[in-house]
Amino acid sequence: MAPPITGILETAIYVDDIKRAAAFYRDILGLKAMIADDRLVAFDAGPASVLLLFRRGATLQDVHLPGGTIPAHDSSGPYHFALRIPKGQLDAWRDHLVAKGVVITAEMRWPQGGESLYFNDPDGHVVELATPGIWSNDLDLPASALQNGI
């Protein structure tokens, strides 16, 4: 039997223009950058979650650091990922995105009660904002707990 997994720590996407992509996630979605350079921006995506933006093609070689080696990685094509939002905030996010000129490409009401908004980032990645109630292992934490890192 495998040891336990406690969650997804990082989600990585690959972008053509790191500054343009970082501006979108910072200015439109309000994410805070934790580190940034010309090949990588790491955003705080909520409690114990990091969204990594890598400049496409900039990570094709292993990176050797004092603590060890990060293996080469890269990808092409549009990705899909979901960012958790508190229950009851879907309308506020819809209004915010529309006010910022972001086109909502789809919406979904899930059988277990969760709701999702879908839109594209500047590189065509499919971004989903999702309330609790999509998956059977989805916790329905209050907004205050999510904001306090619980």
> Could you read off the pLDDT of 80-92 as tens digits, one per residue?
999 999 999 999 9
For 95, other C-beta atoms within 10 Å of its C-beta total 10
- Paired tokens of 63: 């990176």
**Residue 128, token pair as written in the block:** 């989903």
Q: 23-78 pLDDT, tens per residue?
A: 999 999 999 999 999 999 999 999 999 999 999 999 999 999 999 999 999 999 89
**pLDDT > 80? residue 145:** no
pTM of structure = 0.86
Q: Is domain 10-147 classified as CATH 3.10.180.10?
A: yes
Provide the pLDDT for residue 141.
54
Q: Which residues contact 61 (CB under 8 A, 6 or more apart)?
A: 72
SS3 for the chain is CCCCCCCCCEEEEEECCHHHHHHHHHHHCCCEEEEECCCEEEEECCCCCEEEEEECCCCCCCEEECCEEECCCCCCCCCEEEEECCCCCHHHHHHHHHHCCCCEEEEEECCCCCEEEEEECCCCCEEEEECCCCCCCCCCCCHHHHHCCC
For residue 126, name the pLDDT band (cuts at 50, 70, 90).
very high
Q: Where are the domains of the chain?
A: 10-147
